[in-house]
Amino acid sequence: MKNRLEELRKARGITQEELAALLEVSRQTISSLEKGRYNPSILLAFKIARYFGQSIEDIFLYEEDAQ
Amino acid sequence: MKKRRNQGWVPFLLGLALLLGAWLLLKLIPGLDAEHWRVVPFLALGVGCGLFGSGAGELLAAQAMKKHPELQKQQEINQKDERNVALGNAAKARGYDLMTFAFGAMLLFSALMEADLLLTLVMVAVYLFIQFYTLWWRFKLEKEM
């Protein structure tokens, strides 16, 4: 699933390590999320959305064709 | 951190006791040549070494973590990290699938080679136990999810 995580993180001026520490996940998880290789659980998606002050749909871009 | 240190002391002390017990059995008690007792000190030695090593490792890790709390925090995050957990579970599932196949093949070969019937039956029982345990978890999880 495509997402805007990298864009939002860079706009905040924080590193993957810092975001990982804030969300209490590993840096590899952030990296995999940004590359679209890993889809987060609904709980992590909510945590990410809350941190960036946006809705889940605004961050994670669901494409029906990709499923 | 306290919990971690306590967890290390139990196998450490139990392992030490087993090692001492094995040494006592081998050196101090004569007439240990009886067929049934010969295996006991070596069994105690093997289990004792395992427990002692594992406990000592736990204690050393806890000691290292005490000096670097940030490392402990990172380790906790890595253990609870949902991607790490998912990767671990997926890897275990693949391993289980292969084990089921390999176990089945081993049972077949055991039967074809006319190996000891009791041994084959024990292996069949273990195989069935694992399969039923999987089914039991499947039903349990069906109710929970």
Contact assessment for residue A66 and residue A31, using Cβ atoms and an 8 Å cutoff: no
Residues B89 and B131 in one domain: yes
CB < 8 Å from B in window 44-63 of A: 44
Give the residue from chain A lying closest to B70, CA to CA.
A21
Residues in chain A: 67
pLDDT value for B75: 86
Structural domain for B141, as ranges = 82-145
B86 and B61 both lie in a single domain: no
Residues of chain B contacting A41 with CB distance shorter than 8 Å: 82
Residues B90 and B62 in one domain: no
Q: A44 contacts in B (CB within 8 Å)?
A: 82
Q: What average pLDDT does the segment B107-127 reach?
A: 91
| Closest CA–CA distance from residue B66 to any residue of chain A (Å) | 20
Model pLDDT for residues B94-113, shown as the tens digit of each residue: 999 999 999 999 999 998 99
Considering the domain architecture, whether residues B22 and B12 belong to the same structural domain is answered as: yes
- Cβ pair A26, A2 in contact under 8 A: no
User: Do B108 and B52 share a structural domain?
Assistant: no
- CB burial of B71-104 (b: ≥16 within 10 Å; e: otherwise) equals ebeeeebeeebebbeeeeeeeeeeeeeeeeeebe
Gap from B115 CA to chain A (nearest CA, Å): 48
Contact B81 A25 (CB under 8 A): yes
Average pLDDT, chain A: 93
B79 touches chain A (CB under 8 A): no
Q: Which tens digits make up the pLDDT trace of B23-75? A: 888 777 666 666 667 778 888 889 999 999 999 998 888 888 888 888 888 88
User: How far does chain A reach from its first CA to its final CA, in angstroms?
Assistant: 8
Nearest to A43 by CA among A51, B77, A34, B75: A51
Residue with tokens 């659980």: A41
SS3 B33: coil
- Is the pLDDT higher at A65 or at B48? B48
A29-47: average pLDDT: 96
The answer on B97 and B48 residing in a single domain is: no
Contacts 24+ apart (CB under 8 A), B43-46: B44/B18, B44/B19, B45/B18, B45/B19
Going along chain A from its start, the domains and CATH numbers come out as 2-66 (1.10.260.40)
pTM of the entire predicted model: 0.72
